[in-house]
Amino acid sequence: MNKVISTLADSDQYKSTTFLAINADSFPEISDLFDITAVPYFVLIKNGTILKELTGADPKEFVSALDTFGDSSQSTTASSNADPAATISVANPTPAPSIQQEETPEQLNARLEKLTTAAPIMLFMKGTPSAPQCGFSRQMVAILREHQVRFGFFDILKDDSVRQGLKAFSDWPTFPQLYIGGVFQGGLDIIKENLSEDDLFFEHAIEEANSSK
Ligand SMILES: N[C@@H](CCC(=O)N[C@@H](CS)C(=O)NCC(=O)O)C(=O)O
Ligand code: FES
């Protein structure tokens, strides 16, 4: 999405749009303001009003939102994103369909597919990296930070469908859960074990994910 955003920012078509990217961890007051519970997260703002909030890495959806709301008048798009070596930002989950329209298992599956690939490395955790709600999630964040791994996250406490659905999706009953390149890697114990066998586990897993694209 970083590439998508910078391409759009450079194009003439969106020259009246301001693209801003922040590392949510460095600006907790902004993350709090937008109630960010996942990352990456995008907010479309015009004349001080939030028009749309998006999560996940879906360039088509992003451009279509821009085209729906953007016009030649002044508009601003804030995109959350991160500095290298820092935890990323934010986000409300892709909102589940409204209550009248119960989410079907297929829709949930599609949503999980998107969420698990929303960033190259995605952590599904209890709480947020800056405020983990469980020791296991806290430890996973500490390990990722110690290895200077840049990651997106999703707070499963904010969405019970994702919390329960992901257990079946990954065939793993607990959180935290780490995904690299959309591939489930394991929970805390597995990641610790992988690191004890290979200090460069993250680098290798990322390489593997890139080469199988
Ligand atoms: N040994 C586990 C620890 C994680 C764990 O036991 N998580 C529990 C308690 S936080 C959990 O997610 N339970 C299911 C749930 O809360 O939905 C690991 O390696 O990740
Ligand atoms: S929330 Fe109780 S052990 Fe994680």
Q: What is the mean pLDDT of residues 186-205?
A: 97
Q: Which ligand is nearest to the CA of 135?
A: 2
Task: For 90, list phi and psi in degrees, rounded to 5.
Answer: -130, 170
**Pocket lining: 138 vs ligand 2, CB cutoff 6 Å:** no
| 105 has a pLDDT exceeding 70 | yes
Instruction: Report the complex ipTM.
Output: 0.98
Tens of pLDDT, residue by residue over 4-53, are 888 999 999 888 888 988 887 778 778 877 878 788 888 888 877 888 88
Pick the CATH number of 3-69 from 3.90.1150.10, 3.50.50.60, 3.10.450.50, 3.40.30.10: 3.40.30.10
Between the CA of 176 and the centroid of ligand 2 the distance, in Å, is 10
**Residue 97: its pLDDT value, please?**
55
- What is the H or E stretch that residue 52 is in? strand 49-55
Between the CA of 134 and the centroid of ligand 2 the distance, in Å, is 5
Alpha-carbon distance 140 to 29, whole Å? 24
- Residues of each domain in the chain carrying CATH 3.40.30.10: 3-69, 106-212
What residues contact 107, with CB distance under 8 A and at least 6 apart? 97
**Pocket lining: 136 vs ligand 2, CB cutoff 6 Å:** yes
**Residue 29: its pLDDT value, please?**
79
Q: Residues with Cβ within 6 A of ligand 1?
A: 126, 134, 136, 163, 174-176, 187-189
Alpha-carbon distance 151 to 203, whole Å? 13
Query: For residues 11-21, b (16+ Cβ closer than 10 Å) or e, as one string?
Result: eeebeebeeeb
Tens of pLDDT, residue by residue over 62-83, are 888 888 876 644 445 555 444 4
For ligand 1, atom 16, the nearest C-alpha belongs to 174
The sheet carrying 152-155 orders its strands as: 152-155, 121-125, 177-180, 183-186
Q: Which fold would CATH assign to domain 106-212? A: Glutaredoxin (3.40.30)
**Residue 68: its pLDDT value, please?**
86
Tens of pLDDT, residue by residue over 113-135, are 999 999 999 999 999 999 999 99
Between the CA of 127 and the centroid of ligand 2 the distance, in Å, is 11
Q: Which of 146, 122, 113, 145 is nearest to 206 (CA)?
A: 122
> What is residue 63's three-state secondary structure?
helix
